[in-house]
A and B are shown apart, each in its own frame.
Chain A
Amino acid sequence: MTRKHDITLTINGHDHAITVDARRTLADAIRDQCGQTGTHIGCEHGVCGSCTLLLDGVPVRSCLIFAVQCVGVAIRTVEGLAQGDELHPLQRSFIEHHALQCGFCTPGFLMLAVGILENEPNISDADLRAALSSNLCRCTGYANIVKAVRAAADELRAGP
């Protein structure tokens, strides 16, 4: 029925050659065809942000974009955050601040936060809270997520 497209997705620096229908979302393609299931699908209509990842450094909801639109784009997912056993400061901060319970929304929040802090390292508390309000969490009540991101921001800004 629909024409198949041979494409290559570049996820965390690795190329994945896959064949997809034009209608296959990026979220489905990276999960089901590239085996990267750390990106979660929570609503499929762009509200909850669980599927947030970075496209060329910008946080994007991967349920709202097709895989065929992402050729030649640097895709970063939660699987690419830690360097070997060395966790990203945000990952460490989420553990230290108990910023996750069930962990389902966590990859989306982490990638959203990475995008925010890389693009706006000096973000104010109010702007940070507003930016983080684009994703939903049902377990934590958000306070610990906001604290964790704030602490990581301060650490990243202070430098190694």
Chain B
Amino acid sequence: MDKVLGQSVPRLEDPPLITGRGRFAADINFPHQLHMRVVRSPHAHAEIRSIDTQEALALPGIHGVWTASDIPDIGPVDLRADRAAEVLKPYRQPVLAKGRVRYVGDPVAAVFAEDPYLAEDGAELVAVDYAELPAIVSVDDPLGEFAPGVGTEVAIIPYSYGDTEAAFAAAHAVVELDLLTGRHSGVPMETRGAIGRYDAAKDILELHGAAKVLHRNKETLIRMLGRKPSGLHLYESHVGGGFGIRGEVYPEDVLVLAAAQRFGRPVKWIEDRHEHLMCANQGRQQHHWARMAVDAEGRILAMEDTFHHDQGAYIRTHGVVVPNLTMCLFTGLYRVPAYRARAHVRLTNKTPCATYRAPGRYEASFVRERLMDAAAAKLGMDPIEIRRRNLITKAEMPYTIAFDEPEAKDGEIDSGDYALLLDKTLAHVGWDSLGPELARRRAQGELVGAGIGMFLEEGGLGPSDGARIAVDTEGDVEVITGGASLGQGFETSMAQICAEALGVDYRRIRVIHGQTDRIPYGIGAHAARTTVMTGNAVHATALAVRAKALDVASEILQTPGDELVIADGTVTRRGRATGPSITLGEIAAFLAPASKNRGAHAPGLNAEEFFNTTETVFPYGIHFAVVRIDEETGHVAVERFVVAYDVGRAVNPMLVEGQLVGGCIQGLGGALYEEFAYDPHGQPLAVTFADYLMPTAAEVPDVEVLLTEDAPSPHNPLGIKSAGEGGINGVGAAIAGAIDAAISTPGAVTQLPVSPQRMRELLRDRQA
């Protein structure tokens, strides 16, 4: 196999998963393990008067019951070290509630039992006496007190540049919008799980079922549990989807570790779906008041946005990263001379929020693209033309968005040809005929229309990631990374990068990830950085192994290294299929520590290298939707959905398309169906799959992917950008525009999701 990078080769991950031999968190068992069940608050906000555990403890098979008073030495779930702003610390979540519960699902007690069914029995017998308190349910409610002297508005964060005031004063026209994004989450098909185990012989505390950012989580857990770095390790096995929410440190992770150590027995916790929908991180819920100033030709003069960010009950591991992400690329693909944003980060008595795939970006794209549509309507311009007129051009690259605030990270866009992608998108959909066709259908009474959402993404945030590669005497290759796999095809794409650089069959490469005891550093899998950072680290390391192999081979084959090539694991002279050759396995044997031939070479055919960067990559995309609305039921049928995306360079186009299509369908869920609603008392209304409505095969369109490689990143040798979030980013924006067009009512959609009920309201408003 010569060329493997950039090819849609089959995945290395599939064989065990397809035959029922995967190893997900619930599949992990240790002898003599205990099972944990968490007693959770049934109230959105209440004082805990007392907790009586006697009856539970008396039940046969119950090994112990913990409340906050049993773990006085364990602090709240910590923020990641690099985001540990002092102002956020008072809002961290205790591992078990201390005196007060703040959302339905807040952990109050933990029951440990010999069997998971018994643990549930025991949990039902824990009697908690609550005194209910008024709940803050809407992010627009009056502010309250989180604790004495600590208010529920955590922070007001500014992002700005340029003179917006002057721009609005001089504007030909101003559009102003009041917009809401609904509360959604990733909802992976595997619920969370955590298994704690204490290995007394080695004095190592182990967390199994870990995911996503294992090395960072290890740092957090070491701090929280007072362990030495060598005394705590995290182990990732199969992970049933992540989407940003799985693999953060949650209270249950801390509980199983503390209990495993104290009880001297492994402790297993598997979340049920009801818990997941109340307790795992949620996101997206924001209320925006945005406005935009344009000149008579539709050129943007300024954008302004103030929003309330619903953080839920506590600040979790991410701190306030989501509102920051909402603001930092708010201006998207457009040239915006002046910009001013303010995020009001507010607590409510609802499930805490953090990152969900394209965090902050899905929300921002909805708001920005609504502004573009509104401006087009106000000026009587074509929505596509007003966008084209404002695109940052290829000639302006690299393009910097520099903020006034010193703590706001500037956007230093590496490359892009946005107009080219727009042209390609319109050609792909056949806009010249499709536009008139939709108009004709509307004239005949059909409610059909098209919408567009254009967006900028950022990925590949460094600063550094490393890899270790070793070739064994059989010629098989082990690649050890600090990356993580959440189902995206990490092993395959890393193997492809290594195979291409080293000259071996990718199927002979074993990729290790998510094992903190195998490599001391790792960035994990988040913020669309894995392929860029870990991929380039693997690339650099594979090149180092290759150099060493050629160095040795040139001695053995008595040929200058630059006349040698490696293909399919064998070194030969360039252009000579026959003749002297040596395999990588033979070179590894030659380099064995005890080898008589090794000479001055360091033992082993192996290397460790790092990829370091201070720059990020900026992929971009265009989402295009055609919807048809059923006037009677309010059903929005998506007739077409096109995801046009420039990924810089695709390691495996099949995997990239898989990411884009899957992300797009998640985005459609958020645009049309999914919503974590709450009643006025803060009771969650979507705690089963009968209430939280995710798309099924019956609702989804066949998403058309237009994958381009017109703007490889100059910031890494492979030219790759990231793909994890490009499928979801602009979906809400495009669907909103399409619905507006279908009902010939510009600006109709002001809230996501546009559920059938809301769609019916829009249709009624239109008739009125």
Contact = CB atoms under 8 A, between A and B. Distances in A.
Given A23-B117, A139-B241, A141-B665, A101 B658 contact: yes
A138 B189 contact: yes
Interface pairs A-B: 6 shortest CB-CB: A38-B20, A102-B487, A103-B17, A104-B240, A141-B665, A47-B689
Contacts of B690: 45, 47
Interface in B592-642: none
B705 to A, nearest CB: 10
Interface string B117-154: 10000000000000000000000000000000000000
Contacts of B657: 98
Nearest to A109: B697
Given A87-B18, A139-B662, A31 B26 contact: yes
A43 B240 contact: no
A35 B487 CA distance: 24
B658 A130 contact: no
B108 to A, nearest CB: 22
A41 B271 CA distance: 11
B282 to A, nearest CB: 15
Contacts of A140: 658, 661-662, 665
Interface of A: 1, 21, 23-24, 28, 31-32, 36-45, 47-48, 50, 77-79, 81-82, 87, 91, 94-96, 98, 100-107, 110, 129-130, 132-146
B18 A141 contact: no
Interface stretch (B7-15, B48-56, B389-397): B7-15
A38 B702 contact: no
A45 B27 contact: no
B455 to A, nearest CB: 18
Contact of A79 (B19, B488, B661, B695): B19
Most chain A CB within 10 A, of B26, B60, B186, is at B26
B55 to A, nearest CB: 14
A157 B24 CA distance: 34
Interface in B644-692: 654-655, 657-658, 661-666, 688-690
Contacts of A134: 696
A94 B700 contact: no
Nearest to A103: B17
B14 A136 contact: no
Nearest to B692: A47
Contacts of B694: 136, 138
A110 B489 CA distance: 20
Contacts of A98: 11, 654-655, 657-658
Which of A78, A134, A138, A143 has the most chain B CB within a 10 Å cutoff? Answer: A138
Contacts of A91: 18-19
A155 B188 CA distance: 32
Interface string B11-53: 1011101111111101101000000000000000000000000
18 contacts: A36-B20, A37-B24, A42-B190, A78-B19, A81-B20, A87-B18, A91-B19, A100-B17, A102-B486, A102-B487, A104-B188, A136-B689, A136-B694, A138-B694, A139-B662, A140-B662, A141-B662, A142-B695
B117 A103 contact: no
Given A37-B23, A101-B487, A136-B694, 5 more contacts: A37-B24, A38-B22, A100-B18, A101-B658, A138-B189
A52 to B, nearest CB: 12
- Listed residue (B10, B240, B486) with the most chain A CB atoms within 10 angstroms of its CB: B240
Contact of B273 (A44, A82, A105, A135): A44
B239 interface: yes
Instruction: Report which residue of A95, A140, A141 has the largest number of chain B beta carbons within 10 angstroms of its beta carbon.
Output: A141
Contact of B662 (A79, A101, A136): A101
B662 A42 contact: no
Contact of B489 (A42, A82, A101, A106): A101
Contacts of A82: 19
Contacts of A129: 697-698
Contacts of B20: 36-39, 77-79, 81, 107
